[in-house]
Amino acid sequence: MNKNKFYSLLIIISICSGVTGCDWKDLVKDKFKIEHVFSIPSAAYGPGTLLLYTPESGYTKTCWPWDTTGSSKEEYQKNHIISNPIIDANISKGDELEFNINLNVEDKAKIDSNYHNITGLKLSLTNGKQSDLTDNPDTIINRISDHDHTCYKSAQERLKSNNSGKFYISYVNYGYDFQYSVKINSKWDSTAKLPKEVLKVLAAKINIKLENNEETEFSGKNVYIGFNGDSVVIKKSKQFISESLTGGKKVKLHDVTDLFK
């Protein structure tokens, strides 16, 4: 093993086995080999989502994929994506993420006393799928470039407080079936249904960044966690890449920051 990779792995293991838990994105990158990890796991972060990236918050939603594709949520799920089992041998088809949780006084003040003895959180990710957007990327970019479109307006609004951030659209996202369990009084319980306020506290402990009224999805089918690939930059000139091809390979990610400046 490469020496640098070995030491990086040691760092991740030591953080995740300590009393403070660790960053959810670090574990996903290490165990699932996914380069770009969403700030929250969400079944709504499908391919075509307009994302804002900042070093502080990571990848967060700016516009829903059904808005970028000009469809309803139901139409998007039915007609705009194709999901198949992950075929990339480098990407995990499923695994567990385990975090040690240390609830402090402030954390306990936010939740019922029945949950004060939680000391661990385990996320089981199974049935990994790759979801591909079927829309032509050129059509999406033309749509969100319209100054009257809701996605353009949302991007402009977010730029006011994140002027150094970058906007991306990914076309191939990875999702998994999620199930969580918690360690209470030194015993793991996979049947406990935790209240939203408890999930919110646990999310914060593993550096999952919730935006506004977003909720963490620690259970459910095909919950998206991120994507891979190098970005192709799109300029305002609208000289787009024909059929989203570069050297015969399908583009997985567009940097569309310039469209909103």
Task: Give one DSSP letter per residue of 30-61, joined into a string.
Answer: HHH--SEEEEEEETT--TT-EEEEETTTEEEE
How does pLDDT run across 75-133, given as a tens digit for each residue?
Answer: 999 999 999 999 899 999 999 999 999 999 999 999 999 999 999 999 999 999 999 99
Please state the φ and ψ torsions of residue 232, each to the nearest 5 degrees.
Answer: -105, 125
Q: Residue 181 in 3-state DSSP?
A: strand
**pLDDT tens per residue, range 16-62:** 543 344 789 999 999 999 999 999 899 999 999 999 999 888 999 99
E strand or H helix at 13, and its extent?
helix 3-16
Q: Which amino acid is at 154?
A: S
R_g of the chain, CA atoms, integer Å: 19
Asked if residue 220 lies in contact with residue 239, where contact means CB atoms within 8 angstroms, the answer is: no
Instruction: Quote the tokens at residue 109.
Output: 């003040």
